[in-house]
Structure formats: structure tokens, C-alpha cells
Structure 1
Amino acid sequence: MNTHKKLIDLLKDFDTAMLVTRSVDGSINARPMAVAQVESNGQIWFVTERDSGKVSDVALDSEVAVTMQASNQFVSISGTAHPIDDQSKLDELWSEGWKVWFPDGKSSEKILLLRIEPSRGEYWDHSGLTGVKYLLKAGTAYLQGERPATDAETNASVSM
């Protein structure tokens, strides 16, 4: 499997991500976000509140990072955030669980979509059989006093 496809497949495994933005004072802000959709080209969609701090942050600096973590899988995406006001896309993405944040439902005027256009991504996958192979390599390296070798099966950096 090529590294680009592997990264996209890993992205689709996550339902929550940390969206990292830069605020007006230059500080870094990270907040958990429900992943609304990951497209086959790696674009990530979030649903947010129009007047939220993250929307203010991306209006000043649209370069963002998105990180995802599970027990043995890690993904980091760098890219550009685009606020999108598109009711038909919102209809496509809508999940009833979001009524917790938007009690008026998908017709709420507070809702705004946030599309992340990735430019670069990295992953570390130590799950399943791949993880077992890595553990064997790591154990052997440990006994030999060396660092374990890695390959694109377990980790890679990908230009999107």
C-alpha cells in the first residue's frame, strides 16, 4: 500500500481530532473536534459554531494542524482551514449527535463548516500485524543496544 493511501485510510479510522490554531496574540490553541468527514483526497470536514474562537483564529491565520491519536496509531496533518457556509454540504454531513451543540439542528444559523485542505501529513501505525512486526524489531534492537528500523508500513511523512 502506498504511503498516501495508508495515511488517508488511517485518517478515516478516527472520529475525533485535535484542531490546532494560532490566536491573535500568537499563542497556540488546540481543541477536540468531532470529525464530520474525511474525503478520499484527505480533506477533513468539521462542524463548528460560527462565532467560535477557532473561526476567529483561522480568519487571522488559516494554517492549522490536525492531530489524531489512538492507542497504537498517530496522525498529524498540516494544512489550510477554510470556513464554508454550505447548507447542502451540512445536510450531507449532519449527525443527530450534534444537536448537543446545536439544539436548533442543522437549520441553526450558528453552524459553520470548517474544511481542512491538507498540505502535509505524517503517521505512525503500530497496530495489528504491523505493530507486532514493529515490536519484534524493537525488541531485537533493544537487545542489541540499537534503535529499531522503521519503514513506510509503520510511519511516513507524506506531501498531500
Structure 2
Amino acid sequence: MNTHKKLIDLLKDFDTAMLVTRGVDGSINARPMAVAQVEEDGQLWFVTERNSGKVSDLMLDSEVAVTMQSSSKFVSLSGTAHPSDDQAKLDELWSEGWKVWFPEGKSSDTILLLRIEPSQGEYWDHSGLTGVKYLLKAGKAYLQGERPATDAEANASVSM
């Protein structure tokens, strides 16, 4: 499996992510976000509040990072955020669970879609057989006082 496809497959394993933006004062801000959709080309969609701090951050600097983590899988993307009022896309993505944040439903004026266009990504996948192989390598390296070799199947940097 090529690294680009592997990265996109890993993205689809996550339902939440941390969206990292640069604040008005230059600070770095990270916020948990529900992943609305992962497209086949790796673009991510989120739904947010139009008047939120993250949207204010994006007005000054649209470059973002998105990170995802489980106990054995890790993904990091960097790219550009694009706010969108695409009603057809919102209709496609809408989840009744979002009524917690948008009680008026998908017709709420406060809903804004965020499309993240990734420029590069990295992953570390130590799940399944790959994880077992890594644990064996790490154990051997530990006993020998060395660092374990990285495995291109488990770790890669990908240009999108």
C-alpha cells in the first residue's frame, strides 16, 4: 500500500481531531473537533460555530494543523482551512447529534463548515501486526542499548 493511501485510510479511523490554529496574539490554540468527513483525497470537513474563536483565528492565518491519536495510531496534517457556507455540503454531512450545538438544526445561521486542504501529513501506525513487529524491534533494541529502527510501513511523511 502506498503511503498516501495509507494516510487517508488512517484518517478514516478517527471521529475526532485536534484543530490547531494561530491566535490573534500569535499563540497556538488547539481545539477538539468532530470529524464530519474525510474525502478520498484527504481533505477533511468540520462543522463549527461561525462566531467561534477558531474562525477569528482563521481570518488572520488560514494555515492549520490537525492531529489525531489513539493508543496505537497517530496522524498529523498541516494545510489550509477554508470556511464554507455550502448548504448542499451541509445537507450531505448533517448529523442529528450536532443539534446539541445547533438546536435550530442545519438551517441555523451560526453553522459554518471548515474544509481542511492538507499540504502534507505524517503517520505512525503501531496497530495490528505492525505494532507487534515494532514491539519486538523495540524490545531487542532496548536489550542491546540501541534505538529501534523505524519502519516505512508504520511511519511516513506524505506530501498531499
Per the TM superposition, whether the score is higher than 0.5 is: yes
Query: Is 2:130 the partner of 1:138?
Result: no
User: Equivalences for 1:3-152 in 2 at 5 Å?
Assistant: 3-152=3-152
Percent of aligned positions that are identical: 88
Partner SS, residue 113 of structure 1 = strand
What do the CA deviations read for 1:73-108 (whole angstroms, capped 9, x no partner)?
100000000001110000000011000000001111
In 2, the alpha carbon distance for the partners of 1:18 and 1:32 equals 4
- Show structure 1 runs of 5+ residues with no match: none
- Show structure 2 runs of 5+ residues with no match: none
Q: How many angstroms does 1:151 deviate by?
A: 1.7
Query: TM (normalized to structure 1)?
Result: 0.99
Query: TM (normalized to structure 2)?
Result: 0.99
Q: How many angstroms does 1:31 deviate by?
A: 0.4
Partner SS, residue 131 of structure 1 = helix
In 1, the alpha carbon distance for the partners of 2:96 and 2:46 equals 14
Q: RMSD value over aligned CA atoms?
A: 0.6
Partner letter of residue 132 of structure 1?
V
Runs of 4+ residues deviating >6 angstroms:
none
